Amino acid sequence: MNYRTLGKTDLTVSEIGLGCEGFNGKNREDARALFQLAFENGVNCMDLYSPNPAVHSFVADAMQDRRESFVLQAHLCTIWKKGQYECTRRPDEVKLAFEHLMRNLRTDYLDIGMIHFVDSPETWRQIAEGPVMEFALAQKKAGYIRHLGVSSHNPEAALAAVESGLVDVLMFSVNPCYDLLPGTEDCEQLWADESYAGSLTNMDPQRERLYETCQRLGVGITVMKAFGGGDLLDASLSPAGAALTPVQCLHYALTRPAVGCVMAGAHNLKELEKSLAYETANDEARDYAAALASFPRIRWQGHCMYCGHCAPCPKGIDVAAVTKYRNLARAQGEVPETVRGHYDALAHTAGECVACGSCEKRCPFGVGVIENMKDAARIFGK
């Protein structure tokens, strides 16, 4: 298992983490088996959005002997009412649900306290200026929450939260189909057939800006919906008209800026094994670029996907990394100190490009790499 630092937090997370939806409806033995397989393969983090007391009990049992080494991301604003999950913004319900969560988990802190389901700018404004944020910040000050986060499917709402300076972590839906669509308050549109009618081209600029802003500000991203609820793995259901493998979906998410880990949903051991196989997969198995380039309904022409097909460069330049830092600088309109530090640490930089064009011949998306290298050399001064 590979591990990453989550943004500017002090948290080290496994690239593959556990989603919690697969634990709903499980018995204790099934849950124990899923946790055992995860731990045996180095998984050290989990997202817990569910307010289901039974799921809390499973997680508490699993964490019992490893709490200090286990990164738990759990959600505020979810309640268990009449045997069902609900989202709430009522301060009394948020407070009571948090007390139940901590008691059920048998822990005195959350590594990440995630404000749940912020899918419109107006919802974020109400939360940021209201009693929910006041309560969350009070728990952080008291040490019950170590880092504050927001979960969202809407890049506009997520960007407002990230730029507010109030959150350390963003949980966001990241996959190559959702990345094509603009923000909407109706997240159902992310998987509606009509949203993908015709031929879509290139990443939505709001989403691109969101990822780059998170990288610049040090807000770590934990990924949900990497498989689009499973639709991306089935050609008959995929909005793209073709299927990806779990490993390809995971690699796509993990190569976006600021991403620390993917909280991979698994309903059984076989599904979890498919996600864990990412860590031992070779470059060919991880390669999503050829698949994306062949999708019948979607094109990424001229858009760098950080896929690495441009390598190897005869001068040793990491073209994908240089392009990523160039895009981060362009998004900011200046060169942030952190971005310059990463760029300067590269063994070979854009100024060494000899414009041989070998990278452009290999790019599945027709990216103008030579011009990008010239632009990067201009931006960074070498």
Residues 154 and 196 in one domain: yes
- In a shared domain, residues 93 and 196: yes
pLDDT band of residue 201 (cuts 50, 70, 90) is low
Region of poorest pLDDT, from 65-69, 260-264, 306-310: 306-310
Structural domain harbouring 94: 3-287
pLDDT band for 364, please (50, 70, 90 cuts). Answer: confident
68 and 119 in one domain? Answer: yes
Length of the chain counted residue by residue: 382
Q: What is the pLDDT of residues 231-266, one digit of tens each?
A: 888 888 787 778 899 999 999 999 999 999 999 989
> Domain check: are 225 and 102 in the same one?
yes
Confidence at 89, pLDDT banded by 50, 70, 90: very high
Which residue, 243, 268, 287, sits at the end of a domain? 287
Q: What is the pLDDT of residue 202?
A: 66
pLDDT for residue 171:
98
pTM: 0.84
One domain for residues 243 and 103: yes
Share of the chain above pLDDT 70, in %: 96
| Residue 124 predicted with pLDDT over 60 | yes
Identify whether residues 232 and 102 lie together within a single domain: yes
- CATH number assigned to the domain comprising residue 248: 3.20.20.100
Query: How many domains in the chain?
Result: 2
Query: Quick one: pLDDT band at residue 200, thresholds 50, 70, 90?
Result: low
Within a domain: 338: yes
In a domain, 109, yes or no: yes
Question: Is the predicted pLDDT of residue 186 greater than 80, yes or no?
Answer: no
Whether 27 and 126 share a structural domain: yes
Q: Is 311 part of any domain?
A: no
Whether 310 is covered by a domain: the verdict is no
Q: Are residues 223 and 338 in the same domain?
A: no
- Residue 199 confidence (pLDDT): 55
Mean pLDDT of 330-342: 74
In a domain, 302, yes or no: no
